[in-house]
Amino acid sequence: MIVKEINHHMDGNDISLAVIKRLPRYYRYLEELLDNGVERISSGDLSVRMNVTASQIRQDLNNFGGFGQQGYGYNVAYLHDEIARILGIDHTHSIIIVGAGNLGKAIANYANFEKRGFVVRGMFDSNPSVVGSECRGSKVMPMEMMKDFIRDNGIEILALTIPKTNANEVARIAVEAGIRGIWNFAHMDLTVPDNVVVENVHLSESLMTLSYNISRQK
Amino acid sequence: MIVKEINHHMDGNDISLAVIKRLPRYYRYLEELLDNGVERISSGDLSVRMNVTASQIRQDLNNFGGFGQQGYGYNVAYLHDEIARILGIDHTHSIIIVGAGNLGKAIANYANFEKRGFVVRGMFDSNPSVVGSECRGSKVMPMEMMKDFIRDNGIEILALTIPKTNANEVARIAVEAGIRGIWNFAHMDLTVPDNVVVENVHLSESLMTLSYNISRQK
DNA sequence: TAGATTGTTAATCGATTAACAATC
DNA sequence: TAGATTGTTAATCGATTAACAATC
């Protein structure tokens, strides 16, 4: 028996990546409107501010539900909170950082993440001379402790800021321990099971894209 | 008189962003093949390694030229170098970093960039207590010196690792001084002239995407 | 109510994949 | 030469934009 899929995508897994990648930007603009005391906004007004089409905004939002009202537009506070809920940032997430180098420390010290509910619960490093050092009020632990730490503390997210050499091995252990997502800064593609999410931040690739665009500029 | 556009896109500005974003990944895989002593590769073999279609690889590459040979495939070293040339990383680029916080320092210390020809020429910060401190062999300079420094040293790229409050103002000054591209880590959209390239790295947005995907995972 | 603006369908546009003749 | 594999055209698929009836 075929059940017609309901509109609001309760299964949630058929929304295109392009749409999902735009949600945080909507969220950022709504936050700003909220800070400026703006109560409501139409897709037309928002489209001008964000430099996208009003059509796209309405299409994107309607993937998740009808958050607006004809003749009125969208209530900023309400839409803001709905997007937070969609993004899963209406509750906290526990993170550990593996790799206590410059980048790992930068992320650990990044206050804004905590504001969004991403809480750094621990840091790990394989280098004995780094282990034990303090970073943002917590001591850097040795790699051997990672697996149990993930299990014991229900860690959801692993921020991976180590060279590519050991990245897949660390990922494998973290997956075994039940990690849900990996924020990958290592310069390689991780191999993980389907139920584990990987979000790549390949800084050198981003810089190469910039280089390309500069080169092609008249 | 209408001149039919030649195939290799000498004007260079009509290639889709999707293609361009894939180039650094091709480059990374070719580098790896090169390191492993692989001499030639077919689009079919590469497609298996990279988990994309062979068709896409051939289409992407043919935006820039016919780098392969029927019955043979692609010469790894040659294609590697050609992609480097396309990306504009066959020569060095001068960078300054504005914002000598954790992230700025992390980028400054990131040896891999130098390997790709991105050379950090200076760092700047508005905080007097940071100015003068050493970072990777060079002293952090006060913001007031940035404009002249860009001009005098022919700086191409500005890595912007400051809070959003002053980001647009710094960008404006850098543009006046002749900057070609901005690698923007600030949580906002910069407003720059058309001939200046902006590449955004919005870390919190990346983390929100990860959060979304975790939430939707069964 | 009249005007504004949504939600949603239809039309367009662009990107990906498939297919195959060309050719090494 | 025969087999392999490209470069490229055509077919398909998906995403964006336009249009407008529904409705607040």
Neighbour count for residue A77 (Cβ, 10 Å): 14
Return d(Cα B186, Cα B189) in angstroms, integer.
8
Determine the pLDDT at residue B13. Answer: 63
In Å, what is the CA distance from B202 to each residue of A54, A112, A195, B4, B61?
A: 23, 12, 25, 40, 28
In tens, the pLDDT along B165-197 reads 899 999 999 999 999 999 999 999 999 999 999
Question: What is the rounded average pLDDT of the residues A12-26?
Answer: 91
Two structure tokens written together for A33: 């409107």
Q: Per the CB < 8 Å rule, is B102 touching A101?
A: no
Determine the pLDDT at residue A114. Answer: 79
Question: What is the rounded average pLDDT of the residues A182-190?
Answer: 97
In tens, the pLDDT along B145-164 reads 999 999 999 999 999 999 88
Neighbour count for residue B129 (Cβ, 10 Å): 7
Return d(Cα A77, Cα A99) in angstroms, integer.
38
Residues 109-168 of B with CB under 8 A from A: 109-110, 112-113, 116, 118, 156-157
pLDDT classification of A136: cutoffs 50, 70, 90:
confident
DSSP classification of residue A51: T
Q: Is A20 near chain B, with CB under 8 Å?
A: yes
Return d(Cα B116, Cα B88) in angstroms, integer.
10
Inform me whether the pLDDT recorded for B60 exceeds 90.
Answer: yes
Option in A12, A113, A202 nearest B204 (CB): A113
Least Cα distance to A123 among A149, A156, A85 occurs for A149
Question: Which chain B residues contact residue A183 at CB under 8 A?
Answer: 206-207, 210
DSSP classification of residue A95: E
Determine the pLDDT at residue B12. Answer: 44
Question: Which chain A residues contact residue B201 at CB under 8 A?
Answer: 201, 203, 206
Question: What is the rounded average pLDDT of the residues B108-123?
Answer: 88
DSSP classification of residue A70: T
